Amino acid sequence: MKETKELNIPLGPDPEKLLKLDLSHNPFGERMTLQMGPQHPATHGVLRLELQTDGEIVTQITPYIGYLHRCFEKIAESVSYPQVIPYVDRMDYLSSMNMSLGYALNVEKLMGIQVNERIQTIRVLVCEMNRIASHCVAIATYGLDIGAWTPLLFLFQEREHILDLFEELCGGRLLFNYIRIGGLSHDIPPGWTDKVLQFCDYMIPKIPELNELLSFNKIFIERTANVGVMSSKLAIAYGITGPNLRATGVDYDMRRDEPYSGYQNYQFKPAIGRGEQGQPGDCWDRYIVRVREIEESLKIMKQAIARLPEGDVKEQMPKNFNKMPIGDSFVRTEAPRGELGIYLVSDGTKKPYRVKARSGAYCSISALPAFATGCLIADLVAIVASIDIVLGEVDR
Amino acid sequence: MNLEFLSQIPLLLTIVYCVAVVAFVFLFVLFSNWLERKISAHIQDRLGPMETGGWHGWSQAIADALKLLFKEDIIPAAADNKLFRLAPYLVFVGSLAGFAVLPFGAQLIGSDLNIGMYYVIAISSLVVIGILMAGWASNNKWALYGAMRAAAQMVSYEVPVALSLLVPVIMSGTMSMQEIVHNQEGYFWNWYVFRMFPFSFVAFIIYFWASLAEVNRNPFDLPEAESELVAGYFTEYSGMRFAIFFLAEYGNMFVVSAIAATVFLGGWQAPFPFLKFIPGAVWFIGKAMSLVFVQMWLRWTLPRLRVDQLMHVCWKIFLPFSFANLMLVGLWAVLWGK
């Protein structure tokens, strides 16, 4: 990816006027190796980026992962099918519901279970709630990395409301273990849906407030527009999915294009990056796509509550896993950080033969050297924040 | 406040004033540290310190200072020991020396130099040497980045600061701080910020923004940009040495605000003559503190600029505007008098 060796400083709309830097030889001295992380405030966990820097310009980026590797895939081979769910929860710990949904759908496909409408609707509801909570953290830490402190506290407050609702639902606030194979751990408590509707009404006016505070702040736009531009071609080539792909202008959403868990019954419009402040696929687009996804998720939540049918959430849960069909299955779902694909091989015993997860954040980080090389250190911080990685999902 | 009799014993006066200034700086830092916590908390919809000391956590800053005092003092093995130890004091001295010419009242001034303004601009440049020293001596790459950013930023922003401070100097025809304040006697529309409209007002705005960069406050806090450079030039500092950097930063905040209050907002003069019974020091500290409040307000509202944008703002916006402003004020002074 040699063609990205240009300084990402907007010098005008004409691409020919972009400042081209010949970095092959530097008459003023040598480059400095800079270890960004694993203990660094802006690497969102324990990511290590080895940078070659020429002054403030980053000429080479090498991401090193594995500091949060917890052998999820290997552990999954030695525990029974339902016991994998807590481990799946811990992959992307900011959106546990979406993670366990992917795994549960996979085992259900393998066993041929078709869960009832109520289970599907509640699953959609909690997944969208968790998506909002996850995007809140993503936007909040993004602002923090740009230097804006206050949005962090504001958005964590909104997230707190969702976590309180989850606590009432299943007792957990971060890791839920709620979505089970063929069902749910609890039915929703009485009066809970009214509280969720109250939350929707509370959250909708918070989005314009956030836009005033951060999204359309002049300094924020200057810092993020035209920075870290990812073309849709590059995004597809690196297998980038989710909000990062949609920010490049590709209209692709698993929930709409390959619906699972009854997503075909909901009216929503995936947010697309259009390069409103700069070029499509820049950091600002990746930001605003997440803000708009929160709005779409709120719409889905309202629809889910409106159509919530009656039913038993536990009746279809398998009693034992001794007679698993032999074979394999692959299910992909739209998690907040891109497509979560889980591949499962069963050899007929009650333990999975092999579990392999494909996570969106892992692909996002693999593309980092391709589209971020040549930026400034401050831009790199913005880019790492904008692709929104969770190292638990990258390392697994 | 009449301290005339003390001038019979100059040495005693100097000592008393020095002790008073140092005590004021410490008190101010403790107070503004607590204030910043409370302001940031209320901006962010929380309460901030509420427990320590009782009423609204008033002694939180004291507890923090004690904690820093008792912390282990770590000097990295690879650091340049002498420079590492010297740097915080240099920064602190640069910040403290500015207080010598701040006119807290009609008689309450350390030294009414006839080149007071020149002295302030010169002495504030000392801080950048201390910061460079700290960054270099730490032998840490992040600290070095912070120091280099600080050097580039503070040296650049001294130019618009100096150019906009020359506007009131032209208007009053003197560099003495006390005489500048005396020239703004009377009602508040005699303050320099409201005279020669709009040139003086523009100078005030440019000075305020450039001084934010001068003291490394948000949105120009690049040398200590936490999310980019860990902690910037004081990454390796701990305990009391870190506290001294902290003291210097808050001291600097007060100095730049106090200079703005002196030369643009009438210093210790009351806004209305009938309010003269209130001591000048109250007005002076009140005006400076309200500017400090604005600094804090901006910090908790705005994101941070990038290095190239920072330089762009300085050299392509502040510098031409402040230069043109200075020229026009000079022309006005020649044509129509002060």
Q: Tell me, yes or no, whether A227 and A265 share the same domain.
A: yes
Which of A41, A64, A87 delimits the end of a domain?
A64
Whether B145 contacts chain A with CB within 8 A: yes
Q: Nearest CB to A153: which of B45, B145, B229? A: B45
Closest residue on chain A to B42 (Cα):
A150
Final residue of a structural domain among A11, A41, A64: A64
Is residue A51 less than 8 Å (CB to CB) from chain B?
Answer: no
Same domain for A43 and A98: no
Alpha-carbon gap, residue B268 to B272, rounded angstroms: 12
Q: Is residue A70 part of a domain?
A: no
Domain identity same for A244 and A266: yes
- Name the residue among B300, B305, B306 with its Cβ closest to that of A149: B300
Question: Looking at residue A13, what is its pLDDT?
Answer: 41
Residue carrying structure tokens 């299955």: A329
Cα distance from A216 to chain B (closest Cα, Å)? Answer: 12
Same domain, A160 and A291: yes
pLDDT at residue A130, rounded to an integer: 92
Does residue A285 fall inside a structural domain?
yes
The answer to whether B157 contacts chain A (CB < 8 Å) is no
- Which of B43, B226, B228 is the closest to A150 by Cβ? B43
Task: Summarize pLDDT for B172-208 with one digit per residue, the tens.
Answer: 888 888 888 888 887 777 788 778 778 888 889 999 9
Nearest to A378 among B43, B299, B306 (CB): B306
Specify if A30 maps to a domain.
Answer: yes
Cross-chain Cβ contact A223/B46 below 8 Å: no
- pLDDT reported for residue A366: 87
Whether residue B240 is predicted with pLDDT greater than 80 in this model: the reply is: yes
Residue of B148, B304, B316 for testing the chain A interface, max A β-carbons within 10 Å: B304
* Residue at which a domain ends, from A64, A91, A118: A64
Which CATH number characterizes residue A227's domain?
A: 1.10.645.10
Q: How far apart are CA B304 and CA B153, in angstroms?
A: 14
**Using the beta-carbon criterion (under 8 Å), do B46 and A153 form an inter-chain contact?**
yes
The pTM assigned to this predicted structure is: 0.84
Note whether residue A69 is domain-resident.
no
The answer to whether residues A50 and A106 belong to one domain is no
Residues A364 and A301 in one domain: yes
Per-residue 3-state assignment (H helix, E strand, C coil) for chain A? CHHHCECCCCCCCCHHHCCECCCCCCCCCCCEEEEECCCCCCCCCCCEEEEEEECCEEEEEEEECCCCCCCHHHHHCCCCHHHHHHHHHCCCCCCHHHHHHHHHHHHHHHHCCCCCHHHHHHHHHHHHHHHHHHHHHHHHHHHHHHCCCHHHHHHHHHHHHHHHHHHHHHCCCCCCCCEECCEECCCCCCCHHHHHHHHHHHHCCHHHHHHHHHHCCHHHHHHHCCCCCCCHHHHHHCCCCCHHHHHCCCCCCHHHHCCCCCHHHCCCCCCCCCCCCCCCCCHHHHHHHHHHHHHHHHHHHHHHHHCCCCCCCCCCCCCCCCCCCCEEEEEEEEECCEEEEEEEEECCCCCCCEEEEECHHHHHHHCHHHHHCCCEHHHHHHHHHHCCCCHHHHHC
Q: Does residue A16 lie in a domain region?
A: yes
A291 plus A366 within the same structural domain: yes
Q: Which residues of A touch B221 (CB under 8 A)?
A: 147
Instruction: Say which residue the tokens 């090389």 belong to.
Output: A373
Query: What does the pLDDT profile of chain A (396 residues) look like in tens digits?
Result: 444 444 444 433 444 544 555 555 555 567 788 888 788 887 777 888 888 888 788 888 888 888 888 888 889 899 988 889 888 888 888 889 998 998 999 998 888 888 888 888 999 999 999 999 999 999 998 888 888 888 888 899 889 999 999 999 888 888 888 998 888 888 888 889 899 999 999 998 889 988 888 888 888 888 888 888 888 888 888 888 889 988 888 888 888 888 888 888 888 888 888 878 878 888 898 999 999 999 999 999 989 999 888 888 888 888 888 888 888 899 989 889 888 899 999 888 888 898 998 888 888 888 888 888 888 888 888 898 888 888 888 888
Domains in chain A, number = 2
pLDDT of amino acid B9:
63
Q: How does pLDDT run across B119-154, given as a tens digit for each residue?
A: 888 888 888 888 888 888 888 888 888 888 888 888
Q: Are residues A59 and A80 in the same domain?
A: no
**pLDDT of A3:** 45
**For A154, which of B44, B219, B229 is closest by C-beta distance?**
B44
- Residue A71: inside a domain: no
Q: Is residue A236 part of a domain?
A: yes
Q: How confident is the model at residue A21, as a pLDDT?
A: 52
Residues A118 and A9 grouped into a single domain: no
The strand ranges marked E within A37-117 are: 48-54, 57-64
Q: Quote the pLDDT of residue A164.
A: 92
Residue whose tokens read 């600002």: A284
Prediction ipTM score: 0.81
Q: Same structural domain for residues A132 and A267?
A: yes
> Is A202 an 8 Å CB contact of chain B?
no
Beta strands (DSSP E) in A306-371 are 327-335, 338-346, 354-358
Q: Chain B contact for A149, CB < 8 A?
A: yes
Yes or no: say if B13 and B7 are a contact pair by the CB < 8 Å rule: yes
| Pair (A188, A283) in one structural domain | yes
- Whether B139 and chain A come into contact, CB under 8 Å, resolves to no
> Looking at the structure, do residues A110 and A186 belong to the same domain, yes or no?
yes
Distance from B227 to chain A by nearest Cα, in Å?
A: 5
Range of the domain at A53: 2-64
CB-based contact A147 B145, cutoff 8 Å: no
The string of pLDDT tens digits covering residues B263-321 is 888 888 888 878 778 888 888 889 999 999 998 888 888 888 888 888 888 888 899 99
How many Å separate Cα B331 from the centre of its chain?
30
